[in-house]
Chains A and B, each alone.
Chain A
């Protein structure tokens, strides 16, 4: 069965970086993209960007351009999302989901809480 298992919660100080992982299993990793979505406390879903499973081609929401990097490791079928220069308003649960920017998101990771606090 398809599974996306994310890394554990993180606490970071403002200005730091965080890297969240998303380990995929149960399907051919290179056949699907991975999308990252975040959800601030009590808020809705915010699309951050996506990366193709078969190469390094990533597409980011304008809001995060220059501050986010999405990568994949095909050998371990793991996707990563790194967010730099963290601010308090980056405190959120970060989800990975299977699907590209042109597709529905049919499987989701369990989410990773990133807390930014001094």
Chain B
């Protein structure tokens, strides 16, 4: 199975700063089979990014995604208070689907 390794585990930043989250796949995979989810405390995950740079409707354009080989990056250009949460990457191109272990973005 494809293992997704997210880094860093925790990112301590201030509102207004830029956040860069990494998700590395253990083997080559298509970016069209990768998604990112945001999970705020006590809530269900929410689809944030897919494909790897497409945003569902309602997701602000401060969120962007990119891919380079087996490395995927989620960038938040300027952190808003509601962006402090845990972010998970998810691959669904190879069975079984897998999730990364998550990156927590916390207020510094």
Contacts and interface: CB of A to CB of B under 8 A. Distances in A.
Interface of A: 35, 37, 44-47, 59, 61-62, 95, 97, 99, 101-111
6 contacts: A44-B100, A62-B96, A99-B92, A101-B92, A101-B97, A105-B35
Q: Please give me the 4 A-B residue pairs with the lowest Cβ-Cβ distance, nearest first.
A: A104-B35, A108-B44, A45-B99, A44-B102
Main secondary structure of the interface of B (DSSP, over half): loop
B88 A101 contact: no
A108 B46 contact: yes
Contacts of A104: 35, 47, 50, 90, 92
Q: Which of B47, B50, B97 has the most CB of A within 10 A?
A: B97
B7 interface: no
A105 to B, nearest CB: 7
Contacts of B88: 44-45
Nearest to A104: B35
A77 to B, nearest CB: 19
Contacts of B100: 44
B37 interface: yes
Interface in B35-55: 35, 37, 44-47, 50
Contacts, number: 54
A79 to B, nearest CB: 15
Kindly state the interface size class of chain B when it binds its partner. 20 to 34
Main secondary structure of the interface of A (DSSP, over half): loop
B94 to A, nearest CB: 9
Interface in B82-96: 88, 90, 92-93, 95-96
Contacts of B60: none
Contacts of B56: 106
Given A44-B100, A108-B44, 20 more contacts: A44-B88, A45-B45, A45-B90, A45-B99, A45-B102, A46-B99, A47-B99, A59-B95, A61-B96, A97-B45, A99-B92, A102-B92, A102-B95, A102-B97, A104-B35, A105-B35, A105-B45, A106-B56, A109-B44, A111-B44
Contact of B97 (A47, A106, A110): A47
B96 A44 contact: no
